[in-house]
Structure 1
Amino acid sequence: MEETFGSRLRKLREERGMTLQELSLKSGIHQSTISRLETDPQRRPHMETFIQLAKGFGVSIQELAILTDLIDPDSEENIVIKDEQLKTNYHLLNKENLALLKALEGIDSLTRYHLTQFITGLKKNLTEKIKTCD
């Protein structure tokens, strides 16, 4: 049977000697959410949840991606995603975007929301300018 993100997450938590409650307290993610991530083979974390899990384990986002086998640590770029289903959710995990995510780790949700809106607006304006140049 192929390992899922959830089974790898549970294995990591148990290897670290953490209970669901401990990981919940350290990450700020409700126990039931972590439990569902661990037991539902189809469930994948949202990026914010992934960031919180990394915080709970006391590792960087990239380290958590390696520890849960989402990226290949031996890859030349170190950003090769191995789980096909996760490619949809994590297709933006390249060096530049991982650096951005690392910078966002300590930022509160409201500021992160405003930054997202700002970047979305910039992308929209750039796209419109490119269309008018064609």
Structure 2
Amino acid sequence: MTENEHRKAARRAKRNNQIIFAVLTCLLLIVVFALCVIKYQHTFSKSKWDASKGDRYKIVNDMLDSYQLIGMSESDVIQLLGEEDSNEQTSFKISKQYFPPDSTLVYYLGVDFVDDNWLILSINGDVVTEYYLDVT
């Protein structure tokens, strides 16, 4: 191989390396962007909770991790989550318990797959004593 051919091969290799690096950098940026979007979509905020009742199931776990609901007063819960979405007794599949409407706050979380998801807060003496995530 002549010296000229070696230079051409070295330039080709350098260009190929630059292309591979650029492609991998773009893929990394796409993955980071996607993770940021997913994190944002699954992060609780009062405005998200109020704006999209049908997508609350995406942010409820972050809310439960961020706020200690058990022990919180009913008025504090209402300030955080708003008025309950259902004050009628509903049959729930997982807990199979009766939740009396006068001592329960029920919030609609949206449809995940085929089931309606609900956050159920049991109130005793104006304090949240238990919470359940359940489906109908």
Scaled to the shorter chain, the TM-score interval is under 0.3
Higher RCO (CA-CA < 8 Å; seq separation 6+) = 2
Give the number of the structure whose residues are more often strand, by fraction: 2
Larger CA Rg, structure 1 vs 2: 2
TM-score, with length taken from structure 1: 0.28
